[in-house]
Structure 1
């Protein structure tokens, strides 16, 4: 939170997007203050639990996203995960003079200030900053039972969007688990990876990296070195090849994959894959695969039938047939 940093350094630092986050400021502030008790709170996501969803117009959602985009607690989340958290934030209103956060209390809410103004003060220091629309505070409360390091007081009527620790953790845990299961199912459908057991599939699922592509982007280009394997999360791509008119396969969509041979060989890309619509893909590179699970060939030896079937399915250029000549015909007759 902005307050703690200023208490430590005697500076005015705002917790707006792109500037120092609460967590960084909290760490600096605590160096000069008495240590509080901090502990993570475990949560259990009950079967069938779904994240809450509170109505907001698109402009409000956009402002919340912009506020949390550079916050250390949210920066590691994918866009879809942040959207789930934004949907789970509920409106909380405060009258002038209300205390949103009190220094020393154990926090349980994270706030984004939608409208109004707050003073942020630290005991023994006084006012350390102004909280204006777009300011966020309280993110450490989402992860730990951390005593508040400053007091936030409304100096006029305020509207905030807030999410509590349990809802946040359940939302992230639930979203992460569903994503993990979805990615495992994608991986299980790839014949080349069919010999992996569940643990290995989940290991790969956790290593996938999300990459976004606009439409009409060449994701892989024919002739380039192959290194990355892609699974399509959303969107549609087409495959083309030089010298071949039109598209060389059906269009690929959600759950389809391409570039899997890059996990096996260093061969050049055999075709160009271009996004037809904006696409979200999950990517895995060969170095990461080998670091996690060892050379692919070693894994494939556990099921040689599948391995040989895959090798046989890799097209090879046919050997050119020698042109026949009259001398060849004479040689053939002599041999006969």
Structure 2
């Protein structure tokens, strides 16, 4: 990343312009202006400009320095390379997590990789019922960061922490949730829904007996 400085009232990016850089603000302060209205602000540590690069679209808003400001930037080419590397690292992490799931331990390496590619991030705020006892279940959750309560018939029966998972039965069956899982603080998860899993791997009954027919 390379540093660049901006004077007060100088525009870092202009709404409608093509996007060619991703910025991280390291010193100073900026405001975000869309259609001549201030809609947000940027402080040290904030990044901006990524959407135009990811989706090959014009800048959605103007970002203007309010005081002497310093940013570091990545060009479009380097940003996309960085994102690809970050995505591959994320997939690798998901692969390792999936190998810990008992019902999936007979899957082939290629199948694990395909599932890891399909997993998506999910964040729950404090006190959110991520799954609810008695409701239909079709999503599997891996806790990447945080803790959750497992509640059965109104009573807490367990606490799951980073590295734990829940809802795996939803990958095999159209079944009701047998407990409520509630976030303790902010919780980040990786998720996989049953339809995606079935589309990737096929019918799942064979997994229950260790894919004996393979």
**TM-score (ref. length: structure 2):** 0.71
Q: Secondary structure at 2:43's aligned position in 1?
A: helix
Which residue does the alignment assign to 1:198? 109
The answer on whether the counterparts of 1:212 and 1:280 sit within 8 Å (CA) in structure 2 is yes
The answer on whether the counterparts of 1:234 and 1:279 sit within 8 Å (CA) in structure 2 is yes
Which residue does the alignment assign to 2:9? none
Cα offset for 1:266?
Answer: 1.3
Q: Indicate yes or no: 2:97 matched with 1:186.
A: yes
Pick from 188, 192, 195: which aligns with 1:280? 188
The answer on whether the counterparts of 2:141 and 2:167 sit within 8 Å (CA) in structure 1 is yes
Q: Which stretch shows the higher mean deviation, 161-170 or 276-285?
A: 161-170
Pick from 149, 157, 160: which aligns with 1:248? 157
The answer on whether the counterparts of 1:236 and 1:254 sit within 8 Å (CA) in structure 2 is yes
Q: Which has the larger radius of gyration?
A: 1
The answer on whether the counterparts of 1:235 and 1:253 sit within 8 Å (CA) in structure 2 is yes
Q: Secondary structure at 1:215's aligned position in 2?
A: coil
Which residue does the alignment assign to 2:44? 60
Which residue does the alignment assign to 1:296? 204
Q: Aligned residues, how many?
A: 178
Structure 1's 204 and 166: CA in aligned 2 closer, same or farther, altered over 3 A? same
The answer on whether the counterparts of 1:231 and 1:255 sit within 8 Å (CA) in structure 2 is yes
Q: Indicate yes or no: 2:171 matched with 1:260.
A: no
Cα offset for 1:297?
Answer: 1.4
1:205-258 CA-to-partner distances (Å, cap 9, x unmatched) read 110111111011000000100111101111110101115x4x212x11222100
Q: By percentage of residues, which structure has more helix? A: 1
Q: What does 1:110-121 correspond to in 2, within 5 Å?
A: none
Which residue does the alignment assign to 2:52? 72
In the alignment, structure 2 segments of 5+ residues that lack a partner are: 1-12, 28-41
In the alignment, structure 1 segments of 5+ residues that lack a partner are: 1-13, 27-53, 77-111, 113-130, 135-156, 306-336
Greater relative contact order (CA < 8 Å, ≥ 6 in sequence): 2
1:79-112 CA-to-partner distances (Å, cap 9, x unmatched) read xxxxxxxxxxxxxxxxxxxxxxxxxxxxxxxxx9
1:176-203 CA-to-partner distances (Å, cap 9, x unmatched) read 2211111001100000111111111111
Cα offset for 1:165?
Answer: 4.8
Supply the distance in 2 between the matched residues of 1:60 and 1:271 (Cα, whole angstroms).
42
1:140-186 CA-to-partner distances (Å, cap 9, x unmatched) read xxxxxxxxxxxxxxxxx996642135542442232122111110011
Which residue does the alignment assign to 1:239? 150
Q: Secondary structure at 2:211's aligned position in 1?
A: helix
The answer on whether the counterparts of 1:195 and 1:300 sit within 8 Å (CA) in structure 2 is no
Q: Indicate yes or no: 2:26 matched with 1:22.
A: no
**TM-score (ref. length: structure 1):** 0.47
